[in-house]
Structure 1
């Protein structure tokens, strides 16, 4: 167990973690629905395949299914959330509630990803899907601001690896890049569907000077990461947790980075790490053994994310709480992860700097001042 120096700042309290400004880069819209919303939308749309119709029991079912340790089974849970997101009204509602839930958790900037091609079962055009989600995100921002919480949300359009529509979705993302969409992503099973299958989409985005991230290094190892970076040119790695396979920790505690790991660190390539999700899918055995601790020590551009809040029964505050408990992180560490994420966002550089300088750093400074005030007050008693 780590022994902390007597003058070390105490770990942040749950209330401080909740109030700390947070940045979220990897959150799936169809993985963050409120259980009650799933039940209500299913009833409205005649969707009769839910395993449970009681919101509490349905939440338990999602978590238990996601806890299987299998990425394939984890992905199967999305059948039901996607199943009730097939109308403009449902998409707008889910998007608005997503933003409100994130704002209530202290998130000040978020990039929400979803696959438009999965929401066409009732005949919606791709453009109708994007416009409904954008409408919901803006409504969520307005309602959050009315409640005293400022949050900004951008959309990432995701193409499913197995569907072979990546170029079509990339072109869609490019058309809406100044209307709420900030970038592109590919997701779905890594094994058998390498990112190189979507090279035409990535070449198009690079020609258009557009941003994209790639799910890589989660269920599959270093080849997936290498292809995402060297063949496709990804700006960020969705998960990227398996970069640990290229890092050797010797018995004496010294560390040696392989060439790919060194490249990722030296090029400051952001890793969209999702600790709870990584444990559920078997990409990491536990919080204590999650690579994020080592990656933080080595100075990788590590960020903390939720992935799927419903399936993992998580939030940014819960992810931070687990890291605080496991690695004895302080507010300084949480700020480090948050600034990393804001630096890596797909919005203009000056806007990122403004968020860091005007929102994130002052927010953490205020929380640290609380601790200093209490410490001085205790000295005087």
Structure 2
């Protein structure tokens, strides 16, 4: 079995972090004034996320592999998805009928005055039985989660490089030209997938892990998600349809990730004229900034030209403020990896329609957070 180039690069990663730390010691600043400085708990959290990202694919394959084989597990998951969806739809109808009845003349056996006091005290003026609302929300979350599980697993199983290469009439063979084509092709697809990471909440739930640190140093590059198998990326295996062998595609992935490591630093301010072509520490600091002008900018990996072509480029002017727009204030790797998934499905459970339930997954994070804030803010 060929060893992953990113694994082989681990000693270099460690050495580079040690060099960056040594540079910081030689160029001290007042404590808390340089976001690039290492903080023990933050660094340990990033390293833990990095190690977890190496193990996660094997755990995912063991747990979700049976779903991809179209056997009993897949049929069970599909049955749960369909049954939960149908049940939620039926409960929506019941809740609507009860809401109409309550709003007009009440329903025999229900004390609507007490019910209204209960719902209004929670900031909800909709006269619907709270238990029914909670049951509907729980079943809806199961419906959406099981559907996501089935769709993501099926998508991954059907879009492997080996399967696409077997269908292609082309085989470009080996050599430097093909290897370069693979890297450039991966870089182009990566731009769009990375952009979707920021524009689709389902993708953001996975990707925001990487943005969760309020520090910005080489250890931040290793703060990687554990749930990327649960997303719907544009498949990099599309390159295989062009005749690029899967081995070249995997090497392109590794080169892409290795390149991105060094741009997570404040020690390098500029690399001169190459800033116009390559993604650099300056460009990527913008990407990690929560400043309003920096949000959802500079999605490129090796090349910055994609951002310039598609209107998402922003130069570094003001000092970036790192982290999330609302920071989570934890160094617990499990919470870092899972908190946005939990919040997303809580929002799904709180929604009253299928449009809102799927919007909480498929619309922008900004839309979801705005809707969430409006829901939790008591009416004046």
Whether TM-score is above 0.5 comes out as: no
- Normalized against structure 2, the TM-score is what? 0.27
Which has a greater percent of strand?
A: 1
User: Larger C-alpha radius of gyration, 1 or 2?
Assistant: 2
